[in-house]
């Protein structure tokens, strides 16, 4: 079953509590979500994007490579995630994470 956006956001909140000081430092934001690149274990050395990591926890899978785009809206439009609520919160979190805020700080911003 596909995760919903509210489930995805709830998992992002858990990640922010568990790894409050984690900084997402992609080599190139233009390449999209680093969670299509793999990584083993619950906390791989490079967790990648918080949304991709939450997706992995909920589904046990990486973000499908063909949906390797930078925003959660692409996951909805490609029907990998079902929209129910919390979309603006996820978008805000993702933007702040990409701006260099830790997960604990990024989760506090409101859309």
Q: How far apart are CA 68 and CA 110, in angstroms?
A: 25
DSSP 81-93: SB-SS-HHHHHHH
Q: What phi, psi does 109 have (nearest 5°)?
A: -70, 140
Write the pLDDT tens digit of every residue in 100-111: 999 999 999 876
Q: How many other CB atoms are there within 10 angstroms of residue 98's CB atom?
A: 16
For residue 39, CA distances in Å to 3, 5, 52, 53 come to 21, 23, 12, 10
Q: Provide the residue ranges of all domains of the chain, joining segments of one domain with +.
A: 5-106
Write the pLDDT tens digit of every residue in 35-89: 544 444 444 555 678 888 888 888 887 776 655 445 677 777 777 789 999 999 9
């Amino acid at each position: 079953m596909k995760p919903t956006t509210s489930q995805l956001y709830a998992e992002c909140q858990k990640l922010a509590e568990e790894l409050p000081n984690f900084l997402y430092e992609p080599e190139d934001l233009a390449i999209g979500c680093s969670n299509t690149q793999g990584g083993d274990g619950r906390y791989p050395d490079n967790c990648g994007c918080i949304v991709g990591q939450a997706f992995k926890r909920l589904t046990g899978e990486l973000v499908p490579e063909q949906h390797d785009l930078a925003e959660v809206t692409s996951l909805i439009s490609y029907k990998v995630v079902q929209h129910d609520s919390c979309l603006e919160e996820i978008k805000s979190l993702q933007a702040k994470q990409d701006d260099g805020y830790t997960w604990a700080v990024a989760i506090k911003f409101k859309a």
